[in-house]
Amino acid sequence: QVQLVESGGGLVQAGGSLTLSCAASGSIFSINAMGWYRQAPEKQRELVAVAASGGSTNYADSVKGRFTISRDNAKNMVYLQLNSLKPEDTAVYYCNARVQWRPASALYNYWGQGTQVTVSS
């Protein structure tokens, strides 16, 4: 089994910054991709940013230039630096990882419990 634990959410004023962290632990041989999604009230969960094991990254258009995703593969961690925050960034942010338990095994999708980010105007 694999566990993802997020930290770093909170309340911040518009224009401020936060750093989210996510640590993966458990039966992990390798992690293909790690990323962040968010879900605002009454909205569907959406991709924020994802980082592949090889280093490539992808961002939602709404956060490009403001958010930065990074990974520490040795520690099985992923980070999200949120800058120039806007009230519309308010959501629960979820960590996601696609994990391989052992060599040649399938990839399994895991989610963290979520961390609240609230941006006041």
pLDDT at position 99 is 95
Contacts of 31 by beta carbon, 8 Å cutoff, 6+ apart:
24, 53, 73, 76, 97, 98, 99, 100
Greatest extent of the chain over all pairs of C-alpha atoms, in Å: 49
Span 102-118, pLDDT tens digits: 888 899 999 999 999 99
Span 15-27, pLDDT tens digits: 999 999 999 999 8
**Partner residues linked to 99 by β-bridges:** 31, 108
Distance of CA 88 to the CA centre of its chain: 17
Interval 68-77 mean pLDDT = 96
pLDDT at position 93 is 98
Structure tokens belonging to residue 19: 């750093």
CB 24 within 8 A of CB 100: no
